[in-house]
Amino acid sequence: MDLFEYQGKQFFASFDIPVSAGEAVTTVEDAVAAAERLDQWPVVVKAQVHTGGRGKAGGVKLANSVEEVREHATNILGLDIKGHIVKIVWIEVGSDIAEEYYASFTLDRSAKKHLGMLSAQGGVEIEAVAESDPDAIAKIWIDPVDGLDEATAREWVAAAKLNPQATEGAVDILLKLYRAYTEGDADLVEINPLILKPTGEVHALDAKVTLDANAAFRHEWAEYEATQSRDEREQAAHEKGLQYVGLDGSVGIIANGAGLAMSTLDVVNQVGGSPANFLDIGGGANADVMAGALEVINNDPSVKSIFINIFGGITRGEEVANGIVEALNRVTIDAPIVIRLDGTNADEGRAILEPHLSGQLQMQPTMLDAARTAVALAADR
């Protein structure tokens, strides 16, 4: 769940991370009114979109007067930034900047630890820094059991070669940022730039936050949920409670479990195909869930074949098979379907599916065979 910048700053502020005062608005007149309420000039008019490159696209402008706020808000609202139409702008008090840094936390899955990155080169894409000067990024790996303590944070700041004037403020913010990352159930928290002001204060000038949607039950995230950017396919899947990400290929994917779904995408790519989506139906493959998944995929005109890849664990093979058969009675499917069913009671499940097989509904014994068949069927249509 990706947050807009202003939401990220609200999220940071709830953990006492210093951020700039501002207001999110959706109209030009509200932008003007927000600037007048802030009553500190200059202000910055910032497009709120779930993508980078706002500044280069004209989505971030400094305003020294009400007239300039009106002009910039008029130009930015409705602006297309990498396919994202600006509907919200953030009016923020301007900040004096002495130096710009970069700080973030995310999960290093291969190390099974949290990864912290800190650099004295902020204000630019961290990927560019990593490519041009990888030594400019100080990295630490944090065991979730141990967490981040002040001594480690202080050593980290020294390793990143931040201005000594920023040490105390940076250490304080990094400790709070780690708490926001862990207690806030985030997949990513990023401040770029983290600024040192001429006064010596350290301050989060930007905020990039991705929350773990699976942790939503622990939080009140309705406001964040309401502003998620989804295409029609993703919105339909979300309404059915499905974990779905739309892609640009021609083979529709249904799998049970995120890991299996990712592997299915990889296999389809390996055999020369292109996945149309990621769709994880989770542990329940009953008729309602399967019908919802098939309906979402069937409504995508780019889908030329559908690959249902199920490995039964707690969910037994015969339950999956009955769910598929019942779902096909409810939903009229245009594209041919290829099924791979394995795991618990797979033989029973395949026996249930056998009488229903045809050119439109095929079954293959392995994931690789099924992927090849689905890709071939997509190529023929």
Catalytic residues: 102, 190
Which residue type does 288 have? D
CA neighbor of 200 nearest in space, from 245, 163, 225: 163
Rounded Cα gap, residues 62 and 43, in angstroms: 6
Q: What is the secondary structure of 14-36 as a DSSP string?
A: TTT--B--EEEESSHHHHHHHHH
**How far is CA 351 from each of CA 142, 262, 303, 343, 354, rounded to the nearest angstrom?**
49, 27, 27, 14, 5
Task: Confirm if 324 and 308 have CB atoms less than 8 A apart.
Answer: yes
According to DSSP, the β-strands at 361-363 and 337-343 are parallel
Q: Which of 190, 196, 139, 194 is nearest to 164 (CA)?
A: 196
Q: What tokens appear for 272 in the block?
A: 């020369």
Per the CB < 8 A criterion, the answer to whether 62 and 42 are in contact is yes
